[in-house]
Amino acid sequence: MPQLQVGIIGFGTVGAGACEVLLENRDVIADRVGVEIVIRRIADLDIERDRGVAIDRSLLTRDAMEVIEDPDIRIVVELMGGLKQAKEFIRMALERGKHVVTANKALLAETGNELFDLAEKNGVGLAFEASVGGGIPIIRALRSGLAANRIQTIMGILNGTSNYILTRMAREALPYEQVVEDAVREGYAEDPPTLDVDGTDAAHKLAILIMLSRGEAVPFDGIYREGIMRLTPDDIRFAGEFGYSVKLLAIARHHGDRVEARVHPAMIPKGHILANVNDVYNAIYIEGDFVGPNLYYGLGAGRRATGSAVVSDIMDLARQLRSGQGRVLPSRGYARPVRSHIAIQPMDELVSAYYFRFSALDKPGVLSRIAGILGDHEISISSVIQMGREVNGSVPIVMLTHEARERSAQQAIGLIDRLDVLTDRTVMIRVEGAHR
């Protein structure tokens, strides 16, 4: 059986997972591809630490150029992460006519177009299934299975760390800080987990999904991002009393030549399919104009799941090479990619229902003052929960509104937060799929 040589740059969690898949499932991989995929070289700064994979030590090197310059290596797998150095290694590999597989979501979201153009110029592939959703084959679904559709909506739980934190807070009524400590200790979160909990990680993934759905690069800095750090178990409990669950959602909706692109905590009805995605699992809900709604669910991170996605890209490239194609399929899934940026709809034009939690002094007339400001901004109240007991010297007042403009909601909260009867900043959560 013919062989295909691959080189790996980065032997951390994902790199070790990819090696584990290639070694343990080598027979089934060869049977499906018709080529034996062989690891020729692995580069990492630390080649002494045991990764739990039975690798021939002679394959290890501290010099990534040994992978990039090796004439027998057809596919370079970049799993080191980061931006500047990883981009340089990928660039050099592409310029040398090597195909590249990467899981580097931040790099692709922020500077991917340059690398995709370079891959096309050199007639090679740049594959990135592992960059979104771990083991969920969402990239391939958008590039192939749903390719005949105009994608109308993307809505997903794209960060397992945040989902784990919110799940624990909901189940056990634990404060955010305690759950984060547990998540770090149990290996579900970095220390500190900033990019996970502030929405940046999910925004990187959303940028890639939008690019695949439109063939255009979305300006990453234009994606609205808001994290989960200010949420409390009380917010999750109050949301439940209104009939909702709280999730960190990544949302894109296409409106002609503009797109909503936002990541933030959101309340979704308990009957919604995403409301029951818990712990470290991810799920991505997609609507196409012909296929209708689709849901993709699975482990969004982890050594084995992400390693599986990396190897699936290697296998896909190996199939194309074995077929004798002069050029591999376009990495973005578009034979004629659009060269302009997508216009992102300004966040203040969003129309949504809202959850507000006010921390107020227990005095007469507080509710009417708050309601008056909301009314002045054309925000009508759907439901109210007013606690009769003080919590840390304040009485929580919780409201659910009808749909309103984001600009109006922000202006109203800015005025309400200045009232002398409020003791803390207002907590606001947007509501998706609000009951009407």
Which residues are designated catalytic? 205
Element spanning 319, H or E? helix 303-322
Task: Identify the DSSP state of 157.
Answer: E
CA distance 110 to 287: 25
Residue 161: closest CA among 265, 280, 274, 276: 280
- Which residues on neighbouring strands pair with residue 297, listed in sequence order? 283
Task: Identify the DSSP state of 350.
Answer: -
Residue 311: closest CA among 38, 120, 34: 38
CA distance 328 to 123: 7
> Taking CA 312 as the corner, what is the angle to CA 216 and CA 152, rounded to the nearest 5 degrees?
35
Which token pair is 120? 């096309």
Task: Identify the DSSP state of 141.
Answer: I
The count of other CB atoms within 10 Å of the CB of residue 292 is: 10
Give yes or no for a contact between 175 and 185, defined as CB atoms under 8 angstroms apart. no
Which token pair is 54? 């039975």
84-95 and 105-121 helices, crossing angle to 10°: 20
Give yes or no for a contact between 354 and 429, defined as CB atoms under 8 angstroms apart. yes
Amino acid symbol at 275? A
Give yes or no for a contact between 422 and 372, defined as CB atoms under 8 angstroms apart. no
Element spanning 13, H or E? helix 13-24
Which token pair is 170? 């909901």
Which token pair is 51? 């990764």
